[in-house]
Amino acid sequence: MDLLHKFLNIVLLPITLIVLLFFMPPFLILKFLWSLKRYVYSENVSGKVILITGASSGIGEHVAYEYAKRGARLALVARREDRLQAVADKARKLGSPEVIVVRADVSKIEECERFVNETVNHFGRLDHLVNNAGVALQLRLFEDFTHFSDIASVMDINFWGSVHSTHYAVPHLRKSKGKIVVIASAAQWATTPGLSFYNASKAAQVSFFETLRTEFGQDIGITIVTLGAIESEMTQEFLPEAQLNWMPVETTKGCAKAILDSTCSGDMYLTEPSWVKATFWIKILCPEVFEWCLRSIILNNMPQTSKKDS
């Protein structure tokens, strides 16, 4: 067995590269043509039922508005009911024929079951689930944590919240041949210092839904959205003002439109803004340079009390 592994170590990578170089050009052409077809025949969501978590502000709020403009019926979920009502009122004015609000906490499994059931009981179906609810802590180095209980909510909401919501939504999405939209983050590969737990929660989320997509096949579409810095409450909370001054931040409205266009086209992935993809390839090809840049740029903008041997 050891000899077999040694043999594969020597020959498998070169053979794989040769095969990829041979087949990649025609594959990319076919992929481009297929993407054009999906764009032309983009899904019409008018009258369809869309459940959005974390819909009281930020990306969730503006995704709701984009769906409303296209005539979708909405179920909006968040913990702040007063904010939800305001979003619902605006969504109706923008064109949504029917909107309900459900106050719930996605970190609690019983509440995930409740808001999915309330949505289906009210509308009779479910077409899209937008897993948007998320939280982040302010930049803090791992060594600065003294009690890990105060970061449990990051995994409970960012990962488990989307898992539980999806679990109860799947039977209904199978019936409608529906879609799941996963609002993740480029943090899954951009190992930003001070965001270790947030980065980990997003990496877990992406890996989970990639696995689900393999399991579901064509039954349920899954679009995984990896975001850069987007104008929102959460971005302002965990990034220092000095860092926001130099970082290019995309508007929430523009981001929401891109998310909906990509979802309706049936894309597997969306990186928004698209230039953020460059950071992924830099990390893959030059990991030493990538980590040095993150350490130099981010740590220099963190409070002095949070720096360790920088």
244: domain CATH number is 3.40.50.720
pLDDT number for residue 307: 45
- 2, part of any domain: no
- 100, part of any domain: yes
pLDDT number for residue 27: 76
pLDDT number for residue 305: 46
Is residue 198 part of the annotated active site? The answer reads yes
- 28, part of any domain: no
Instruction: Work out the average pLDDT over 46-52.
Output: 96
Instruction: Work out the average pLDDT over 64-83.
Output: 95
How far, CA to CA in Å, does 197 sit from each of 137, 147, 156, 211, 294? 9, 13, 11, 21, 16
Q: Given a cut of 90, is residue 140 above it in pLDDT?
A: no
Across the chain, mean pLDDT equals 87
pLDDT number for residue 143: 81
* pTM for this entry: 0.87
The total number of structural domains that make up the chain: 1
- 27, part of any domain: no
CB 136 within 8 A of CB 238: yes
pLDDT number for residue 233: 64
Q: Quote the tokens at residue 76.
A: 């909006």
- 129, part of any domain: yes
Instruction: Work out the average pLDDT over 69-75.
Output: 96
- 4, part of any domain: no
Q: Given a cut of 60, is residue 188 above it in pLDDT?
A: yes
For residue 238, give its domain range. 42-306
- 12, part of any domain: no
pLDDT number for residue 237: 58
Q: Which of 139-143, 240-244, 305-309 has the lowest mean pLDDT?
A: 305-309
**Torsion over CA: 11, 12, 14, 15 (sign):** positive
Instruction: Work out the average pLDDT over 240-263.
Output: 77
Which residue(s) pair with 226 in the sheet? Answer: 184, 271
Q: Given a cut of 80, is residue 309 above it in pLDDT?
A: no
Nearest to 301 by CA among 139, 191, 152, 62: 139
Which of 87-91, 249-253, 286-290 is most confident?
87-91
Q: Which of these is catalytic: 65, 67, 168, 198?
A: 198
- 277, part of any domain: yes
